[in-house]
Structure 1
Amino acid sequence: MSRVDESVQEVNFDGLVGPTHNYAGLAAGNLASQRHGGLTANPKEGALQGLLKMKSLMEAGYAQGVLPPQQRPDLGALRKLGFTGSDERVLASAADQAPQLLRAVCSASSMWTANAATVTPGVDAPEGRVQFTPANLQSSFHRFLEPATTGRVLQAIFHDERHFAHHPALPATPAFSDEGAANHTRLCGAHGEPGVHLFVYGRKAFGGEREPRRYPARQTLEASQAVARQHGLTDAQTVFAQQHPDAIDAGVFHNDVIAVGNGPVLLYHELAFLDEEGTLEALRAKMATPLIPVRVPVEAISLDDAVGSYLFNSQLLSNPDGSMTLVVPGECQENDTVWRVIQDLILAGYNPISEVLVKDVKQSMQNGGGPACLRLRVALSSAEREAIKARALLTPALFEDLTAWVERHYRDRLAPKDLADPQLARESLAALDELTKLLEMGSVYPFQLG
């Protein structure tokens, strides 16, 4: 008989928007990032928008967690690239000689924790422990800087070896390009029941399938297979599907921009998968609970509208009565076509999705990340939740403390030219040092480790 742990809850760990949140236009294939590159950002507003989304979901009864931002600017990375002298000199030299590198080492992209790691719940793992693999994010320099700190953060929060297992990031090479949970969906009945893991890739490292022509495919089949092996997943527990190259070329840089799954429901665009029917058939063959596909045809929403509104980069959350809530960015409500599809096709369709919540995460959206990008899903039993010793599960008191922390430390205006300001670096380190104490997670940042 299959194991069922009724105490398992899905906890969404949202990334805090960092103090150096800016619009640098760093991400190739991310149209929102490229479109807003060079604009002035508001880090304080971005962090508060994220916290308010977390608070509203917590108050609605959903389990909510928090992940801290990265240390930025990453002066250590600049020093490895040949910039020398004091912090002030390193920043000034980078701004003068390689402004693109300065923008990269200041990126607050770790806010999108869907890219932080891939997670397998203990109920699916052969040893009964929750499995974590930080994504190597090797496809872009500004994100390649994240995995080491991400690994330390995850180990600080999920520290108890009786319940949690941590694996190294995959080799940072093109063959094993891994972008984390943004390309991974677990489908199941209840969260405490065994599930099937859908891994979506953009290309095979050694060729053999059609690839996008305009933008790079960031996830390889070989990376997805390696993560599945690390986590002890069997063939019966996994489905590997290729993302549609036309979607990638339209700006769908991760699968979570074109599909979202929760429980037995898979909400997806017609052009999400290269082999749509084959993907659905494979899932149906392996799932113990019948799959509930919710298909949005291209005639209803074009790829351009899907990317512009981030409808599929929404959160899909389970309710106690078996229904589901769809959490969408405000841009979905602003697009008449998308909003009509939500009302007439999704909410009125024969599926468990019965409610839509609209959230303002515009500071994140303008850099190319919606509600689903901002969270890492971790299904945890009651014993596993109790094993978390860091103060990472959101409560009303923690929300108030984090809001006050943002108000103390964040700027409300940050233009690209401000990234060379040494005071910004000092402000960021002071904020992060205080944050690790507030979250009770110990030393996780390079400047704290010496």
Structure 2
Amino acid sequence: MRPPPLACLRTARPRPILRCSTRRSGRRRGLCPGVTSALTYLCSLGALLAAVTKLRLPPGGSSTASRRYLAAALATLSLSVAMSAPATLALAAEIEPIPNGAQLLAHSLTMLSAFCALGMIEHAVAQRGPRRVAVRAATLVLCAAAMTFLLFTADIAHHGDLANAYGHYPVILTYFSLYLGYLSWSLGRFVWLMHRYTTTHQAQPLMRHGFQLTVLGAGIGLFWVLWQITGLVAAAAGHHVAPDAISDVLAGAAVVTGAAGATLASWMPVVLALPRWLRAELAHRRLRMMWSELLTAVPHVAFDAAGVTTALRRAERAEYKLYRRIVEIRDAELALRPHAPPEARSKIQAAAEAHGAGEPEVLIEAAELGIALDARQTKQRRPACPAPPVPAERLVEPPDLLREAAWLARVSTALHRSDLVAEVRAEAAQAWNGTAAHE
């Protein structure tokens, strides 16, 4: 009596394939499981962060159906990618109720992610009603139920590469036909609708680039589906297909590119503002010593700006702090000007020209400021002298925050490190001491 087909499937063993997980052969041409798992988890984390980003509403924003669809698509995609990692499959093999149940769950989550992504773009472009959504949801449920039934009736042993190991079985071939067919239809329609949306709607450049990146991710996903189909056809034909890194790379690229495109408008402004923040922060730090010395001498020039920066972004907050520091330094210079003798500028200029020093205006401003600080400490006060002329090279271009900060940084360096400035300050201090002793 011939055994029933299911019994044959129970007793049949998978055909040997060239696989890297078999340590004896060591002939794997793809990535090793540890590296593959690490990269897979990183891709899953990226998709999860993208989902959280879409769930966070901007100030004054409201949650829309398209936004919720997209967040659900990214969240389910993150879970699917994490479930398909080799480390997760190896761990699930010990606890899953049916063999390869973890792969079934990962495939179902991937289909659910495609359902949500397609629902997002259909809601934005085609304005489909609840009836169309119900039809697509019923199709998804029927496909997932049929895949569950096929995997349960196959009664096969656990294997990390289900398609290559059992792809020549009709039951598993039908299983993957449903899975890959649903994905190819969903991704193909998604790409077409996204292209239609980008060509018929005027969007900001950043949003348009995000749409293009999302379409690129869906296109890579379609190419991954085609690659899986070729492998499945080869396995069904009885060829021994050794898994390589192409499938892993395509899947990771599709996930990362799609998640990056879906959230481009959220993270790209932060990336573009990073150089602004860094330049302002470095300039702010370079002025710390000079600012601290001046505010110690004239603390009343400091102003309270509590609560002003709370509504500013990171780069704007750094630029505001730099602007505030520059204003306080300039106010301190104005407050210290009456303490410097009117003839100090001509003496400093003559000394700078005699020494042939570069940037004489920097040295003159630093020496005047140093003399004024020393005079204030000794309670010396002179008749108010006119404001020094602005150097001609600083009048050529309009005022700029970073340019002004760079000028003050050079003044600070000369104030604390220039031998000429120290010599002029010492001569001025000796003159004051001699005048005080004579009096």
Q: Same fold (TM over 0.5)?
A: no
Higher RCO (CA < 8 A, seq sep 6+): 1
Larger strand proportion, structure 1 or 2?
1
Q: Considering only CA atoms, is the larger Rg found in Structure 1 or Structure 2? A: 2
Using structure 1 for the length normalisation, give the TM-score.
Answer: 0.25
Larger helix proportion, structure 1 or 2?
2
